[in-house]
Structure formats: C-alpha cells, structure tokens
Amino acid sequence: MRPVTATLINLYHICHRELWLHAHEVRMEFFSDAVQDGKLIHETSYPQRPENFREIMIAGSKIDFYDRKAKVVHEMKRGNKAKEAHVAQVKYYLWLLEQHGVPDATGILEYPRLCLKQVVKLEPNDYAAIATWEVNIRRILDGPCPPVINKPFCKQCSYYEFCYSGESTLETGS
C-alpha cells in the first residue's frame, strides 16, 4: 500500500495532477522561484527557532519545527491562498502524532510575510475526513496522471511549463 504523507495531503487539496506528479517523483521545484522563495522564508524567519524546536520524522512525514515540550507543530508558509490545504496538512501532522502516542498536540500555521498565524486543532469530524483523504489519494496515485486544472494559480506552480507546454504525455500510474 502506498504511504500517504502530509505533503501528499497538502497537494491533494491543491491539485490532483500535482499530487500525482510529486508522488511519482516528477520534480520541477528546483526551477521554481516560488519554491526557492519558500525555502528562503524557512531559513530566514524566526532565526532563534532552531535552538528551541526540533525537526522530526513521523511515518514518512517531516515536521520542520516541533516544540516537544508544548506539543506544538509550527508550519510556515509563504502565502495563505491555499489555506485549506495548509490546514489539512497540519491536521494530518496532529493526527499522525496522536497515532504515535502524542494526543492533544496543537498546530500553528505561520505566514511570516503576512504577519499572520492560525491555530489548528484536530476536531472530531477530522478523523473520517482524513480516512477519506487517504483512500482518495491512493486511488489517484494508482490511476493515470490526472489532467491539468487550468486555474489561475497554475502560473505559480513549479509544474506550469511541464503541464502547459503541450508535451507532457504521462499516461499510466503505479
């Protein structure tokens, strides 16, 4: 069975084609200004953080900043246009922590460029939603590469040229 990760949960809420491409190791982020800018934000925001928080791996998902003492997951993002996907990603981290013996953790979504923060908690109805996300993700990944979605935010996506050059001919999954 394919492993589902928090990154895949995020991409599932943005674009099923991007989810499929990322999971099948088709990577373009090295050529993306937006992705490189996001990395810069990670490296330069909150310079005191590395001393206080730890990077942890849990069931294949990497949490960049985890405050073990306070049981708080800090997730930093460049912009908040895909906030639903960001919230889903953090909820998945909280769910993973609970599955591995750390209940009642809290998430904080941080948007340093926007000076915004949002607290994220695992709610009772999230359990069924997460189970559905996992089933749907596995079904997408086992199928053919989904079609392009023609959304305005495609222009910000690292796969933009790949998707709209007219030359991408990926047909089969798994």
Residues binding ligand SF4: number (CB under 6 A): 11
Single out the residue of 113, 160, 170, 173 in contact with ligand SF4 (rule: CB under 6 A): 160
CB of 165 to ligand SF4, least distance (A): 11
CA atoms of 54 and 20, how far apart (whole Å): 29
Note whether 46 binds ligand SF4 by CB under 6 A.
no
Mention every residue, 6+ apart, whose C-beta is less than 8 A from residue 111: 76, 77, 78, 79, 80, 117
Enumerate the β-bridge partners of residue 61.
Answer: 58
In this chain, which of 4, 6, 8, 15 binds ligand SF4, going by CB under 6 A?
15
Q: Which of 9, 10, 12, 17 binds ligand SF4 (CB under 6 A)?
A: 17
Does 12 engage in binding with ligand SF4 (CB under 6 A)?
no
18 forms part of the interface with ligand SF4 (CB under 6 A): yes
- Name the residue type at position 150: N
Give least dist CB 39 to ligand SF4, A.
18
Binding to ligand SF4, residues 19-38 (CB under 6 A): 21
Residue 149 binds ligand SF4 (CB under 6 A): yes
Do β-strands 54-58 and 61-67 pair in parallel, antiparallel, or remain unpaired? antiparallel
DSSP label at 121?
-
Q: Does 154 interact with ligand SF4 (rule: CB under 6 A)?
A: yes
Between residues 18 and 126, which has the closer beta carbon with respect to ligand SF4? 18
Name residue 74's amino acid.
H
CB 79 within 8 A of CB 113: yes
Between the alpha carbon of residue 68 and those of residues 3, 61, 72, 125, the distances in Å are: 25, 16, 7, 25
Among 12, 53, 111, 159, binds ligand SF4 (CB under 6 A): 159
Work out how close the CB of 173 gets to ligand SF4 at its nearest, in angstroms, rounded to a whole number.
15
Interface contacts to ligand SF4, rule CB under 6 A: 15, 17-18, 21, 148-149, 154, 157, 159-160, 163
